[in-house]
Structure 1
Amino acid sequence: MKITEIFQIIKHYNINRLKKYTLRALYFREKGAAAKVLELGEKNIQDLSDNEVRIKVLASSINPADFMFIEKQYRVKPEFPQIAGFEGAGTIIDNGGDENFPLNSIVAFRHKNIWAEFANIPKDKIILLPKNFPIEKAAQLSLNPLTAWALLEESNAHTNEWIVLSAASSTVSKLIIQFAKNKGINTIAIVRDFEQKEELLSLGANMVLISDNEIIEKQIRELGKTERIVSFLDAVGGDLASTIIKTISPGSKIIHYGLYSDQNVTYHNADIIFKNLTIQGFGIDGWQNNKSKTELKKIWTNIIHEIMNQDFKMEVSGKYSLKAFKQAIIESRNNKSGKILFWMN
């Protein structure tokens, strides 16, 4: 590296470290309904630590986890006053002189304090993206696609085998369907109504079923006579999961990863023993902790490659400024198709 380039890096580093950023952010002072407890205000961003980069946030998605954090119990505890938001995309404006994180790079990230104009993000939470990566997709990249990829990996499904998805109209399920299609894996999508049937079929689902226990039991038993159903990826629980466990193919794996139903899952020991079923819980952080950095880097490369394809769908149904947060929250609660984003681009 030339000496002039070194001086430029030092100059940029010192200027940005001395510069104070005032940011607008959505924060809350107590737990409660998001539309009531969230406030839009100005704050000074904290000093950048050595293991962080500073991001100009361009877009941030609204996810169920955000509402859990604001309204209920969540694994991450708020420190009041707490800036909301866990997932977003933006550009690096200060890398502290670390050339591994080039300035102006487009990045995705999952961390706290994201519903804001700027954010300091730990370097190990940064996903560097190609320059032409769509911001709409980048804002949704850090959480759901990795979860979908991991669940499909955990299913142990191979080409021409079948998996069953509950809550198939959810964002995660729509991603699983597309990843599965690209791998030649067949999917049964279970939904509460047929409102999104055509969309799910267009994404690659092979079969869409209404969550009527009698119908599902009959159709899955019938399919299992000729096809190998290897896994049930369950975001619901309750009676639906109980029915699937009773009817799924021998040797299959049941993976519980969601809590949409308040009902317990019930089964007889014979259903598990005589069919040699595996029942497993899944959390994305625990899954990541069992992967090496090299493995995760390869996985992210594959995910980014697939999502970059224009045929891969990650729909956005609304973009809102931070100022319009109440409307954004209402839309997110009622939305059944694409994501709602806070848009600062």
Structure 2
Amino acid sequence: MFKTVKGFALVLSDENELKPSQRIKRIEKTLPELKPGQVLVKMLATPVNPSDLMYLLGKYGLAAQDGAFVGFEGCGIVVEANAGLYGRWLKGKRVALSAQPGIDGVWAEYAITKINFCLPVRKELSDDQAATIIVNPCTSVCLVERAIALGSKAIVINAGASQVGKGVIRYAKLKGIKTIATVRSEANVEVLQALGADCVLLTSHENFDESLKHWAKKLNAKVLLDAVAANDTPRVLKAMPNSSTAIVYGRLTETHDALGGLFSVADVIFRDIKVEGFWLAKYIGDASVLQVLSLSSKVQKLFAQDVFKTDIYASVGFDDFSEALDHYAKHKSDGKVILMPNN
């Protein structure tokens, strides 16, 4: 179908001490024929997200495939389509895209994905910003709107300095929802306050639990947006009012237990505490084209209004990617690393 394509593929390893750059290798492979409903995209930019790092460690919800291209989202030009009228309309257009679960990722010169996972992007968005509009901003919007649907007037966000956390703070403020953000670094407290968070708490502070309980009660925060999981889920829920809900959308805690989590059985039984999950790939995969386009339009409008903006640390080519990847793994709050595969 197509010429040989260069990209970064996963190297499976049981050694937990390996750096992210040691878990990938640069390879060439020939992509397969497009199946019905798929498109071929020439990649312009593709970021590194925490979910990519967890996948490299074998700690993501999808089984790691040795030798498969890595990368969950990006931006590119649709060059071929086997997807009916909509596919023909998309051909030649710039799109944001997410990888189709179970096949190659998008850290490559060209990528194949399902047409549902492609969103036409506005001309005013740069390639690196367009490459980041799906995983984090769409998740932020969906999480806040789920919290509103649950009737909560305020939200607790752990990993508040993450790109999703910052997006939640901005979008929640726009929707009139109060936010309580928790962070591990004191340097992020003022940053999130400047973004509009109503309360920012340092998890290492000796009075953290008491402060969180005070603010959760004061603001009536009954939804936790949980990207940390493990011990953080029961700890935060313990400080929240009865009938609160944790929406778990990630697991930043790095342990040997890939997907395990913890919650208080007593809280679930006696305090009506609920735990539910959110995975954007499933949300988009289950949605109609019109629903996906509506979400895309909403998110891109927020970018155009400067409500959303992704912090970028570096945009690099293949040669400099490994070093930048390791930097991001240690310093996520510095901003995204963007791979420009065709530069």
State the TM bucket, normalised to the shorter chain.
0.7 to 0.9
Q: 1:130 aligns with which of 118, 122, 130?
A: 122
Letter in 2 for 1:106: R
Shifted more, 201-210 versus 215-224: the winner is 215-224
Percent identity between matched residues is 25
How far is the alpha carbon of 1:85 from its aligned partner?
A: 1.6
How far is the alpha carbon of 1:330 from its aligned partner?
A: 1.5
| CA–CA separation in structure 2 for the residues paired with 1:268 and 1:159 | 23
| CA–CA separation in structure 2 for the residues paired with 1:293 and 1:265 | 36
Q: 1:82 aligns with which of 68, 76, 88?
A: 68
Q: 2:312 aligns with which of 310, 316, 326?
A: 316
For the pair shown, the structure with the greater C-alpha radius of gyration is: 1
Conserved 8 A contact 2:48-2:338: yes
How far is the alpha carbon of 1:136 from its aligned partner?
A: 1.6
Structure 1: gaps (5+ residues): 1-16
How far is the alpha carbon of 1:58 from its aligned partner?
A: 0.4
Q: 2:95 aligns with which of 107, 122, 132?
A: 107
**Superposed structure 1 runs of 4+ greater than 6 Å apart:** 157-160
| CA–CA separation in structure 1 for the residues paired with 2:97 and 2:90 | 15
For the aligned residues, what is the CA RMSD? 2.9
1:95 aligns with 2:85: no
Letter in 2 for 1:330: D
| CA–CA separation in structure 1 for the residues paired with 2:9 and 2:117 | 21
Conserved 8 A contact 2:98-2:117: yes
| CA–CA separation in structure 1 for the residues paired with 2:288 and 2:42 | 29
2:264 alignment partner, SS class = coil
| CA–CA separation in structure 1 for the residues paired with 2:60 and 2:265 | 32
| CA–CA separation in structure 2 for the residues paired with 1:267 and 1:53 | 45
| CA–CA separation in structure 1 for the residues paired with 2:217 and 2:9 | 54
Q: 2:275 aligns with which of 276, 279, 291?
A: 279
| CA–CA separation in structure 2 for the residues paired with 1:38 and 1:77 | 16
Letter in 2 for 1:247: A
Cα deviation digits, residues 81-107 of structure 1 (max 9, x gap): 322222110112233595533333110
2:33 alignment partner, SS class = coil
Aligned length: 326
| CA–CA separation in structure 1 for the residues paired with 2:150 and 2:65 | 44
Conserved 8 A contact 1:157-1:185: no
| TM-score between both structures, scaled by the size of structure 2 | 0.83
| CA–CA separation in structure 1 for the residues paired with 2:269 and 2:280 | 28
Q: 1:242 aligns with which of 234, 238, 253?
A: 234
Q: 2:212 aligns with which of 214, 220, 229?
A: 220
Conserved 8 A contact 2:42-2:76: yes
Counterpart residue number, 2:247: 255
1:1-345 aligned at under 5 Å gives the runs 20-28=2-10, 30-31=12-13, 33=18, 34-95=20-81, 100=86, 101-111=89-99, 112-156=104-148, 161-212=153-204, 215-261=207-253, 265=262, 267=264, 269=266, 271-272=267-268, 275-288=271-284, 291-335=287-331, 336-343=333-340, 344=342
1:245 alignment partner, SS class = helix
